[in-house]
């Protein structure tokens, strides 16, 4: 009999792998016998054991005749690792409760069919909404063939990203900035534009606590104007950096490559690069999640293309006035054209407020 508590435990266990196993989805598994948890497992780094295998190894011979709870359908194909279904069958698991069927065409029901073929009782469809939210990056990567894009912005209470003189350090408080660093450590990449580099000279790395990993730093730079002495260029050997461009002088290309920067040329129209082509290139590199930390122009471009999947907006306890409003290049002229947000959550961070939500784009 299905027990909700064990699937909820598997969901919590899966969180241990957030940011640690991309491009694989992070999954949780729990092995149970007579309401006693024998073992748990979460997905390890890419190329290592999946959650089911971790749990089975912990359980050992006790797994025979036990019940497996797993948040995502077990794989049934050879990829970077052998199929989990065969290990489940070999261990003698008698029943499997699956939270969500895997949308990956390589799996998508095949794992369920293989387990049933081996005589194992299988039921699916538990805590689906929570698991879909948990695996939103992976599901976007599979269904849309591009990374899940998170837009992060730090704004004053009256919606300004900077004062009139351009200064913006710091609108948000230290606790909010620490949270941003943790968020960075969980995504595959950070994207910004050349204007942000020229204005703020950021590092765009993780600098608080023990980083899970350093994200790939991506710069959209149509004319390859990236100065050699910026922090980004000077640290490219230590922190992987990728620059998309359209036009450039050969000596600039060679100089940046010598600094350890990878360059990719994509289509462009003046100061704008083809965002669909950028997304396609990232998909080829199996980048599943990206944090967009950019100024008004590039942020507006992502929203115009319908590419922003989630928003994190930090509001600092300041009023700045002036005209430096975020997304002022979006070109919305009527309230009927507004981009809505659904699934809103609020979080107080000392004297700051974090609002998160999912954009709802108007019909085109």
Residues assigned a catalytic role: 52
CA 247 to chain centroid, in Å, comes to 29
- C-alpha 21/C-alpha 288 separation (Å) is 11
- C-alpha 166/C-alpha 294 separation (Å) is 14
CA-nearest of 68, 65, 85 to 76 is 85
- C-alpha 78/C-alpha 187 separation (Å) is 26
Residue 208 and residue 185 in contact, taking contact as beta carbons nearer than 8 Å: no
- C-alpha 198/C-alpha 226 separation (Å) is 8
- C-alpha 181/C-alpha 184 separation (Å) is 5
Residue 137 and residue 17 in contact, taking contact as beta carbons nearer than 8 Å: no
- C-alpha 100/C-alpha 71 separation (Å) is 6
Helix %, strand %, coil % of the chain (to 5): 30, 25, 45
CA-nearest of 279, 255, 258 to 191 is 279
CA-nearest of 2, 317, 10, 332 to 172 is 317
- C-alpha 309/C-alpha 244 separation (Å) is 21
Residue 261 and residue 237 in contact, taking contact as beta carbons nearer than 8 Å: no
């Amino acid at each position: 009999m299905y027990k909700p508590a064990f699937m909820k435990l598997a969901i919590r266990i899966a969180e241990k792998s957030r940011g640690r196993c991309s491009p694989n989805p992070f999954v949780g598994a729990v092995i149970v016998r007579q309401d006693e948890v024998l073992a748990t497992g979460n997905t390890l780094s890419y190329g290592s054991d999946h959650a089911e295998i971790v749990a089975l190894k912990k359980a050992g011979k006790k797994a025979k005749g036990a019940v497996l709870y797993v948040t995502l359908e077990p794989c049934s194909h050879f990829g970077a690792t052998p199929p989990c279904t065969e290990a489940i069958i070999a261990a003698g698991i008698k029943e499997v409760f699956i939270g969500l069927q895997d949308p990956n065409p390589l799996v998508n029901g095949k794992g369920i069919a293989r387990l049933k073929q081996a005589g194992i009782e299988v039921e699916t469809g538990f805590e689906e909404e929570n698991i879909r939210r948990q695996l939103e990056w992976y599901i976007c990567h599979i269904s849309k063939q591009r990374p899940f894009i998170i837009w992060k912005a730090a704004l004053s209470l009256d919606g300004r990203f900077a004062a009139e003189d351009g200064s913006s350090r710091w609108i948000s408080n230290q606790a909010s900035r620490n949270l941003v660093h943790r968020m960075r450590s969980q995504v595959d990449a950070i994207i910004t534009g050349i204007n942000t580099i020229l204005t703020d000279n950021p590092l765009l790395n993780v600098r608080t606590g023990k980083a899970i990993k350093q994200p790939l730093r991506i710069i959209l730079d149509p004319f390859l104007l990236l100065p050699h002495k910026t922090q980004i260029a000077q640290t490219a050997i230590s922190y992987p950096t990728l620059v998309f461009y359209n036009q450039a002088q050969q000596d600039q290309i060679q100089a940046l490559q010598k600094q350890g920067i990878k360059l990719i040329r994509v289509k462009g129209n003046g100061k704008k690069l083809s965002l669909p082509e950028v997304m396609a290139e990232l998909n080829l590199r199996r980048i599943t999640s990206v944090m967009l930390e950019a100024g008004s122009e590039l942020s507006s471009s992502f929203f115009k293309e319908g590419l922003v999947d989630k928003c994190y907006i930090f509001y600092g306890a300041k009023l700045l006035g002036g005209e430096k409003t975020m997304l002022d290049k979006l070109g919305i002229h009527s309230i009927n054209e507004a981009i809505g947000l659904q699934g809103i959550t609020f979080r107080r961070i000392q004297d700051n407020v974090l609002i998160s939500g999912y954009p709802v784009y108007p019909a085109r």
